Structure 1
């Protein structure tokens, strides 16, 4: 049942939470670059092509950096789309947002583990579980907003909410696929996230038709 309109006055203003979300996403995206471990120049003074050797050694880090950065950019966009329509946050939305942000802060760590040990199944699963939780929280929030749209997102059309729910399924499903690939003993399971921009482009194009 929708909450009565009188509940609107008890909502938490979204401005400060929006600022916090933007700051944490920006910080995490910036911190990702520290997951690229460039060796000291003194370790390569006798190598004929030191830069090439360095690039070869950090290639897994670079790949995971770009995967994680792209994921964070898309997830930030999801938050932006959600918060721009919110009249305010109740306690449930605030708590779930804090849970999501805690895993966003964790992403540089899980990216570092996966990048440093690209052939380790557990490292890949930690990375994919991190993204799974962030994506799952976003998905749960949209289902919650659908039930309470009259109070929390009064200006958002039902078909737009359904579209956001469809988009929010992408990362949980890709994460499950990645974990299944890792458990099957195949390397580079985080590569499944390269499908995310393609899927998003397809869904966006389909929605615009």
Structure 2
């Protein structure tokens, strides 16, 4: 009789630590675009302030991308608060997410230098969309098969977490759709993330309550 293949699992803490380090490096690299921007020759305080004011688009791109990275990191922290172990599939889904995380400093620099071109406006939103999509896929896999990678106490809330991930992917898709016209301002679509998630979760809770009473 053939022996059944044994599943191999890995410590979630190691995955979390590695991911934290990658996020930290990506966030640090964002500031390099500021430090490599030439201010030029200035002789007075007024000229310096004027030169810094002329960099407002660079500062805006930096601020938006740092906020996006921070949001992705918060999602990562929330996920690994509830993930108890990892398998090979989760490892590679998370690695794929990190691929797009480390690309964010590069696509941010394109926004600043090539905002007049279509590619310069859309590549950062596309980059962020895939990072969100793979983050949602990481959680979906962890919660699959009855929450086979989740901590016991987290399995009851897995469906609500799935809703949050799906809404985030939807907001990312809206951002990509509007970015040809609005560039990085299209990320305002993520303002809908919290309210939409709350509404859908509330409706789901009401349906479950109605079924239990019926």
Q: TM-score range by the shorter chain?
A: 0.7 to 0.9
Secondary structure at the aligned position of 2:153 is classed as coil
Match of 2:98 among 96, 101, 108: 101
Distance in structure 2 (CA, Å) of the matches to 1:56 and 1:191: 19
Q: Give the aligned partner of residue 154 of structure 2.
A: 156
1:59-208 to structure 2, matched below 5 A, reads 59-153=56-150, 154-158=152-156, 160-183=157-180, 186=181, 188-196=182-190, 198-202=191-195
Q: Deviations over 1:27-58 (max 9, x none)?
A: 1112111122532442x44x883234323332
User: Of residues 19, 38, 50 in structure 2, which corresponds to 1:53?
Assistant: 50
Bigger relative contact order (CA 8 A; separation at least 6): 1
Q: Runs of 4 or more off by more than 4 Å in structure 1? A: 203-209
**Residue 137 of structure 2 aligns to a residue in which SS?**
helix
The Cα RMSD (Å) is: 2.6
Q: Does 1:39 align with 2:33?
A: no
Q: What is the aligned length? A: 195
Query: Greater CA radius of gyration, 1 or 2?
Result: 2
